Amino acid sequence: MRPSGITDAEWQARLDLAACYRLVAHYRMTDLIYTHVSARIPGEDEAILINPYGMMFHEIRASDLVRVDLHGNPVQETNAPINRAGFFIHSAVHEARPDIACVIHTHTTAGIAVSAQQPGLLMISQHALRFHGRLSSHEYLGVADDDAERKRLARDLGGNLVMLLRNHGILACGRSVPEAFIEMNYLERACQAQVAALAGGLPLSVVSDEVSARTARQFDTVRERRMTADGRTFTLEWAALTRMLDQIDTSWRD
C-alpha cells in the first residue's frame, strides 16, 4: 500500500527501484547485503532513493526505500540504517551526472573477473559490441572514501553509461531505472560470455573495430528511438520483467 505524503512521481520511482532490486536478486547479481541500486526522485534533483542497509535484495519493497541526499544523509525521519560507504560510488555519479536517474553497482564473479583482466571487455560477443567505445574504466586505488576518489570516479565515467571498476566490479547507469537495468544485464552477460570463452582454451574470434563501432551505433539508434516523452526507455522489456516478478511475488509493489 502506498504510504501517505508520497507523490505519484516518487511512488513510480519507488516501484521501479524495488523491481530493479528484485531483478538483480533474481538474476543472481547480488553480494549478500552489499552493493546498491539507487534512483533519483523525478523533480527532486538532490533526493535519491536507496535500500535500507541490511536487507537482502529479494526482500525490498517500494515502501522500504529510504530518501537520502547526494551524500547519503537521510532527508526524512527514519530508523533504517544507511550504508553511506556503500552509497559513495552512487553519490559521485548522481552529483556529476544530473541526466542519470539510476545507478547500479555489482560485484558479480564475471564482472570482477573481466575488471581484473588487463584487456578489459573483449569484442567477442554481440552483447559486448553494444559497449564498443562506450565503456569507461576506473583504476582501483583502495576502498572509495574521499572527495578525491569521488572526482576520479566522475571523471572516469565521463558521458558513458557503463564502467569497469578495476579489480572491483562493474557499474551501469541509466536515464531511467529500466535503462540502467538493461545496460547492466547486457554488460553482465558480456562479461559472462568472455569468462566462458576464455575458459574454453581455444583461440578467440575478435570482431574488428569497424564492425564493432557500427554495431554500437546501431544499438544507440535503437535506444534513442525508443525513448519516451518522460525519459523512460526499454518499456517493453520492463513490462515483461515486472510481469515475471508479479508471477513470483507481488510484495515488491507494497
State the CATH number of the domain containing residue 95: 3.40.225.10
Asked if residue 189 belongs to a domain, the reply is: no
Query: 4-13, 89-98, 105-114, 230-239 — which is least confidently predicted?
Result: 230-239
Residue 208 CA to residue 196 CA, distance in Å, equals: 20
Contact call for residues 50 and 65 (beta carbons, < 8 A): yes
Angle in degrees, 0-180, between the axes of helices 109-116 and 177-199, rounded to the nearest 10: 70
Summarize pLDDT for 71-105 with one digit per residue, the tens.
888 777 677 777 877 788 999 999 999 999 999 99
Asked if residue 182 belongs to a domain, the reply is: no
Asked if residue 51 belongs to a domain, the reply is: yes
Q: DSSP for 194-233, please give it.
A: HHHHHHT-SPP-PPPHHHHHHHHHHHHHHHHHT--TTS--
Q: Nearest 5°: CA angle at 146, between 141 and 149?
A: 45
HEC secondary structure over 229-242: CCCCCCHHHHHHHH
Q: What is the pLDDT of residue 230?
A: 65
DSSP type of residue 31: B
Asked if residue 156 belongs to a domain, the reply is: yes
Q: Which domain holds residue 200?
A: 9-177+194-253
Asked if residue 1 belongs to a domain, the reply is: no
Summarize pLDDT for 213-234 with one digit per residue, the tens.
999 999 999 888 777 656 667 7
Copy the grid coordinates of residue 59.
Answer: 526482500
Asked if residue 3 belongs to a domain, the reply is: no
More confident of the two residues 86 and 107: 107
Q: Residue 249 — pLDDT band, cuts 50, 70, 90?
A: very high
Q: Residue 39 — pLDDT band, cuts 50, 70, 90?
A: very high
- The structural domain count of the chain equals 1
Asked if residue 116 belongs to a domain, the reply is: yes
Asked if residue 71 belongs to a domain, the reply is: yes
CA-to-CA dists, residue 196 to 18, 61, 126, 206, 219, angstroms: 31, 34, 15, 15, 24
Q: Is residue 32 predicted with pLDDT exceeding 90? A: yes
